[in-house]
Amino acid sequence: MIHYKFNNPNPTFPLNNTKTKKMTTLALLSKAKTLRPNSNFFTLLRCMSNVPEDTVYGGPKNQNPNQRVTLTHLRQKHRKAQPITVVTAYDYPSAVHLDTAGIDVCLVGDSASMVVHGHDTTLPISLDEMLVHCRAVARGAQRPLLVGDLPFGTYESSASQAVDTAVRVLKEGGMDAIKLEGGSPSRISAAKAIVEAGIAVMGHVGLTPQAISVLGGFRPQGKNVASAVKVVETAMALQEAGCFSVVLECVPPPVAAATTSALRIPTIGIGAGPFCSGQVLVYHDLLGMLQHPHHAKVTPKFCKQFAYVGDVINKALLEYREEVTNGSFPGPAHSPYKIGGSDVKDFLNELQKLGLEKAASAAAEAAEKTSKAESPGGGSLASD
């Protein structure tokens, strides 16, 4: 351990005096404001156990929009009736985009099974596959609250199984919270057990894709009285279990409005109209990435496409194929690595010594073409 010795400017006030220690610490902290972040002084401060860490003991601070979104932040927005923005994403690049855009919550959804892996439902994706997506998103998103879906088959057996899976999503996936679907008594018990284990839970009612075998497919819910009441009651049960928020998927706007009004926690709508506390869409859907007719089955009717990125991607790929085919790519601008003329000659000599005459000719021809492309007026190996 490194020990630091201070010169006491006033021996009549020994440094072991509590008040003097506090004054000295304040003076040191004041001095820190004038120093560079890589100064040795900061190394000293980190070694001083009597200097409180701002992140734990610094007291309440104003919310910085560049800091990580927390449940407290979401509660504040909900209390002020400020809409909460949520986007479902599955990888590092999309997470970076969400970060840059200032999205509040990034949901790593089991819909990756359909959108990324090409399955017809969300059921096939495994926990290990979900964890790969979670880790990728966690590396890219520094600001949003990160919520990971519990995939089908990983939490239904018992509350103990649910807690074990949720723990893995946080510890191995880098998530801040988890989401689970449904509102049966076993799901309510699972949500309660996970919350009691110290893990934040987001509920999900209405159309719950993991239950399509019971629902008879991807069918909207709440379209009759019994179903509408069930949506409200299930959401309230999830709230009482300790959930910090509830997703309402594919329910009529009046049902969503009633549920939102009945709850003390935020509702996040997807295909549920404008009367929720926030909205969620899938990254690929809102960007219009899935333009091929084959993907029509996984692009829901309620999704607004805020861009047509799929068309841009298709056009770029066609141009790439064309330029590679006709030889215009890569040109000089995209062939940045050079070898000097004298080195080319020596290289050709070495190839000839090795008996690689054909390779030497290919290299000479490439050097000649590169030189002419870079200097249209001339230039050759002979002139070097």
Measured in residues, the chain has a length of 384
Nearest to residue 215, comparing CAs of 223, 302, 126?
223
Report in angstroms the alpha-carbon separations of 373 from 44, 331, 365: 58, 8, 12
Instruction: In whole angstroms, give the CA distance from residue 12 to residue 206.
Output: 73
Nearest to residue 180, comparing CAs of 230, 99, 245, 116?
245
Pairing mode, strands 245-249 and 200-206: parallel
HSE-CB for 49 with a 13 A CA cutoff: 3
Instruction: In whole angstroms, give the CA distance from residue 321 to residue 301.
Output: 33
The answer to whether residue 249 is catalytic is: yes
For residue 55, give both structure tokens: 């992140």
Which residue is listed with tokens 């004041």? Answer: 30
Instruction: In whole angstroms, give the CA distance from residue 89 to residue 94.
Output: 6
User: Burial level of 129, CB count in 10 A (0-12/13-18/19+)?
Assistant: middle
| Residues sharing a CB contact under 8 Å with residue 281, sequence separation 6 or more, in sequence order | 87, 88, 270, 303, 304
Find the catalytic residue in 53, 172, 181, 249: 249
HSE-CB for 62 with a 13 A CA cutoff: 2
Q: How far is CA 47 from the centre of its chain?
A: 34
Residues involved in catalysis: 249
